[in-house]
Chain A
Amino acid sequence: MKCAFINLFIAFLSVGINAQSVQFVPSFGEQELKLDTTYLLHSGIEVKIETLRFYISNLEIYKNGAVVWKEKDSHHLLDAATPESLKFPVPIDKGDKLVFLLGTDSVTNVSGAMGGALDPSNGMYWAWNSGYINFKLEGTSSVCVTRNNGFEFHLGGYTREHATVQQIELLITGNEILVDLKAFLSQVSLAEQNKIMSPGTEAVLLSQKAASIFRFKNEK
């Protein structure tokens, strides 16, 4: 009885602490994603993810339709291979809705050299067609008739016609946000589309799909 009480207390404490941050959880369906591990996409199609990196920016929290918190200089580079990059402080208990951009806005893309998450040495900047790569997904699949069966999606582009930045709005139901790559890859026909390395209509369509794979992990 006493034990249960302490457990409850600890649980309460950790919720209290966790409530001040969000944790992005790359996943394959409901399962936490492991890099370089074979997954079954759908019957007969196997995939392996090697790289997942993306920008999250301009984080805001809304309560009853009004902004109650806005992050300053809000740019985060998340990398599935670096667990520390997937979690950062956000006062999530302040409101009912989390709003952020998947990618970097157009102003950021034309503002010259920047540091930190935006430093071009992070490998998320295109040297030969200026602009950030907002979302980078690389892996292999048995259906890709490419060198080493590889697929590479480098989604970026900031001009009005080829804007890839996506706004995502999520009702807050916890503090873990799944980034479900199964949901992404299910919307792509990997046999035909497996290499996007520059801005254009394809990158725009794929980034809309990428935006659809973020969701709060259900509590309970």
Chain B
Amino acid sequence: MRSKFIVVGLIWVGLVAATLPTLIKVTLFYPSSWPKPVYDFEKSALSKEGISLGRKLFYDPLLSADSTISCSHCHLSYTAFTHVDHDLSHGIRDSIGTRNSPALMNLAWNDKFMWDGAVNHLDMQALAPITHPAEMGENLNNVIAKLQRTSSYPKLFQAAFGDSIVTGKHILKALSQFQLTLVSANSKYDKMKRGEYDFTEQEQRGYQLFKANCNSCHQEPLFTNGAFENTGLPVDTTLNDYGRMLITKIASDSLRFKVPTLRNIEYSYPYMHDGRFKTIRQVLNHYGDGIFDSETLANELKGGIPLTSNEKVDLTAFLLTLTDKEFLFNPEFAFPRN
């Protein structure tokens, strides 16, 4: 009786093993001095299969209503996954959005997404562009149906999740997996930290200025503290974007936007939530004497951050040490060619 039970048990275990794919586990690599990621890898582990499916989805215009716009349309790998040259993002049928597409990197350490923190988890972020009428103009159920009908995707979903039936959950998990691998940690700054590179005197002076004036918000090593701040940008009256307040409905959150990372800033222009500045110089000039005072203006910025023109040059030299060429030109992140 008992042995029968064990045999049945074994058969069952065998069946389960046959249906679950054997995944090639991937561990996210990042510097040991960094904080622990926010993303819960215990619950959703990375796998080679999941990442590669996510990458294919990220580059696939099938995710949009008329199959013209992929995620990469607004998040281009060579420019730190932002949409250069566009202040406001351009989407389906040439619609223009209301915000500048942010650079995508080190997303595993983010706990709120979007300029106003509207999205609370990386998995859920993709729903926003997919359904936005001015971005991809599609709905998740159509995406599921379209993917299911292809000859390639059901196999890939089977390989990554052990189920060839495409679901919303698995689309979102796969997109997360790919985006989580977008780690930028190999800039000159990182090499300096590891003792593999010595800052020039100018870069060093810039670093001091940075630590004194900018680090409270653009905190090392991720160059953001994840908070929402008002940096004194006057409201663009054609957009009337009040940032975080739109989500929390709390007046003290008016005009606060998420502190963006400054990694790869050389490549992620234009700058700010509405892309109003084209150059780093314009940003520094804004912090110098362009600050528009209002009730929610960040304390550090009351009175601005006046810097001499030499100091601006030094600070810029430091900001350029945050460029990570290996990240920008990593073939693993580019359009999948197979």
Contacts and interface: CB of A to CB of B under 8 A. Distances in A.
A122 B43 CA distance: 22
Q: How large is the interface on B (under 10, 10 to 19, 20 to 34, 35 or more residues)?
A: 20 to 34
Given A129-B118, A130-B118, A130-B119, A120 B172 contact: yes
Interface stretch (B121-129, B149-157, B211-219): B121-129
Contact of A121 (B118, B141, B247): B141
A115 B169 contact: yes
A113 B144 contact: no
Contact of A111 (B121, B140, B170): B121
A112 B173 CA distance: 8
| Cβ-closest 5 pairs across A and B | A121-B168, A112-B123, A113-B123, A113-B172, A127-B127
A3 interface: no
7 contacts: A111-B43, A112-B172, A120-B140, A120-B172, A121-B140, A127-B128, A159-B248
Label chain A's interface by main secondary structure.
loop
Given A120-B168, A121-B141, 16 more contacts: A111-B43, A112-B43, A112-B44, A112-B122, A112-B123, A112-B124, A113-B123, A115-B169, A120-B172, A121-B168, A122-B168, A125-B127, A127-B124, A127-B128, A130-B118, A200-B249
Interface of B: 40, 43-44, 118-124, 127-128, 130-132, 140-141, 144, 167-170, 172-173, 176, 247-250
B120 A110 contact: yes
Nearest to B168: A121
Contact of B128 (A115, A128, A159): A128
Contacts of A131: 120
Interface residues of A, number: 23
Label chain B's interface by main secondary structure.
helix
A114 interface: yes
Nearest to A119: B168
A119 B247 CA distance: 23
A51 to B, nearest CB: 16
A167 interface: no
B144 A121 contact: yes
A18 interface: no
A115 B167 CA distance: 8
A121 B167 contact: yes
A55 to B, nearest CB: 16
A113 B176 contact: yes
